[in-house]
Amino acid sequence: MANFANTDFLTVAEVAEQMRVSKMTVYRLIHSGELPAVRFGKSFRVPESAVEEYVKAAATGRHTESA
C-alpha cells in the first residue's frame, strides 16, 4: 500500500479546474485507471503528484485521448 503521509490531495473539482476539463472527464480518468485516486467516503481525492504526472505525460504524447 502506498504511503500518503506527505501527500497533498485534490478534489475532483480542483483537478478539473487545474486541467481545464469537466468533472465528468476527471471521473472517467479515475474509473479507467488513468488517474489514480483514493476514495474517502463517497468522494474521490487525487494525489496532486498524480495530476502533475498525468499532465506531463499528456503533454509528451504518452497518453492517448479516448473518444
Confidence bin at 58 (pLDDT 50/70/90): confident
H/E segment holding residue 58: helix 48-59
- Does some domain include residue 48? yes
Query: Where on the phi/psi map is residue 49: left (φ > 0), alpha (ψ -120 to 50), or beta?
Result: alpha
- Does some domain include residue 47? yes
**Domain count along the chain:** 1
* Residues spanned by the domain of 43: 9-59
- Does some domain include residue 30? yes
Compute the residue count for the chain.
67
- Does some domain include residue 4? no
- Does some domain include residue 67? no
- Does some domain include residue 2? no
> Tell me: the pLDDT tens digits for 6-47?
789 999 999 999 999 999 999 999 999 999 999 999 999 999
